[in-house]
Amino acid sequence: MINILVPVISVILGLLVGAIVMVVSGYDPVKGYIALWNGIFGDSYAIGETIRQITPYILAGLAVAFAFRTGLFNIGVEGQLIVGWFAAVYVGAAFDLPKVIHLPLAILAGAAAGALWAFLPGLLKAKMKIHEVIVTIMMNYVALYVVNALIKTWSGGGDKTERIKETASLRSDFLASITDYSRLHYGIILALLMVVLMWFLLEKTTTGFELKAVGFNENASEYAGMKIGKNIILAMVISGAFAGLAGAMEGLGTFGNMYTRGGFTGIGFDGIAVALLGANTPLGVIFGAVLFGSLKYGALNMPNAAQIPEEIVQIVIALVIFFVACGYAIRLLLSKISKKKEAK
């Protein structure tokens, strides 16, 4: 019961404090949240764009959650997403192949790039005990600037790549037609399949059991004959593959190309909150991604429909993330209340 209450209370507290911020700033929170609702569910186009926004959040959340479940903190999901985006777009634009080969190959390229980018932190953790948080934070910046340089090189000094071939696109005429020509694509189906894959891997396979065991207690796992280094590296590689797939969804589905960036997408970092909100479970990640994807897209309607500045909108979203991060304190409070009731 507490596992359900904690994320619900976190979200409600975030929205309530967000309402207070809007009132103090001289804006109507009722109009603001109505605009937010309409931005998410106002029409078929808004619904399609919201689902499209949710897709990379599911995969980024899975990347963080998988690492957490195996005793690691992969804060490098953002960088792995960026290299996955570039790799998928490169394969999608550079080759002429039948769709049945081209699309899977471009998707796999994104996953492989993310996995490779996560391999080094895993290797350093396994062999030299260097904490993965330090390495992955630094590699986020390396990914950002290396990919920017690669885009400029590929485009001859320009700021964006070529568009991918139609044979590598996740776009769907059918999904676009039923959502008033939104950018909704087949990536949502792939994201949901990855949710099932993560559940199956962790709960139904020997490999998943070993990965969790090593994350829970390295010494006991080693005594039981498990290979600690191998499992640490494998956990990071799988986590990175999920992150790379999130980037592939952006490149092959939403944008169809990639452009140089002055900063991060934010999806990888929001994936941490998505995973925490979902209690690091595959099903929970879906609900966390729905919340954050909906907030991110729906909030775009608040400045236009309710005249609330974008800065206030970002504060409201940040407050929700803050209270999600405070989930442990909320859980502790609920546990104490529960124990007092049992004592009586």
Can you give the pTM of this predicted structure? 0.92
Tens-level pLDDT at each residue, the chain (344 residues): 666 777 788 888 888 999 999 999 999 999 999 999 999 999 999 999 999 999 999 999 999 999 999 999 999 999 999 999 999 999 999 999 999 999 999 999 999 999 999 999 999 999 999 999 999 999 999 999 999 999 999 999 899 999 999 999 999 999 999 999 999 999 999 999 999 999 999 999 999 999 999 999 888 998 888 999 999 999 999 999 999 999 999 999 999 999 999 999 999 999 998 998 888 999 999 998 998 899 889 989 999 888 998 888 888 878 877 887 777 777 777 777 777 776 66
What's the token pair of residue 147? 């990919």
- Report the chain's terminal Cα–Cα distance, integer Å: 20
DSSP per-residue letters across 176-243: HHHTTS---BTHHHHHHHHHHHHHHHHHHSHHHHHHHHHHH-HHHHHHTT--HHHHHHHHHHHHHHHH
